[in-house]
Structures are given as structure tokens and as C-alpha cells.
Amino acid sequence: MTIDRAHLDGIDHLLRRTLGLVEEQITDRNRTDVLDYLDHGEYGVAYELLIFILDNQQISRPSLLRDVGKRMGMTD
């Protein structure tokens, strides 16, 4: 199986942009946890964790998060 590096880079970029939109509304620990998963290429886990954090803290999900989910074939 071949890995589409451009596709993964796009997902990484969108997840980091999304995190940047909400980082001032979440704890440093939560931000660090999401970044740790991103740094290790665990995009699905980072996506799910970010959704959990936002929902748990009743923070509106940025529209970019929906786009990321669609690119990964995940629903939110």
C-alpha cells in the first residue's frame, strides 16, 4: 500500500489550523495532548480528542473540523 503524503500533510495542516482557532479556549494540557498526537501522525486520535475536548467544554466546533473529518472519512 502506498501512502499519499500530500493527503496526510493536508490533514495535519487543517488539524493544526483548527487547533489554532480554539487554543485560547482550551487548557494548555489539552492543547499539548492534541499536538502530541499530531506530531506522531495519529490524526484520527487527534481529531477525536479535539472533538471530545470541544464538546466537553461546550466550545463551538470550527467549520474546518468538519472538513478534516470528511477528508479522513470520519463523521462528527
pLDDT at 1: 64
Which pLDDT band, with edges at 50, 70 and 90, does 74 fall under? confident
Q: Is the overall model pTM greater than 0.85, yes or no?
A: yes
Burial class (CB in 10 A: 0-12, 13-18, 19+), 50: buried
pLDDT at 5: 80
- For the cut 70, the answer to whether the pLDDT of residue 49 exceeds it is yes
How many residues are present in the chain? 76
Task: Pick the closest to residue 71 from 47, 53, 51 (CA basis).
Answer: 47
Instruction: State mean pLDDT over 43-57.
Output: 97
pLDDT, one tens digit per residue, over 3-45 is 678 888 889 999 999 999 999 999 999 999 999 999 999 999 9
Domain boundaries, the chain: 5-72
Cβ-based neighbours of 4, under 8 Å, separated by 6 or more = none
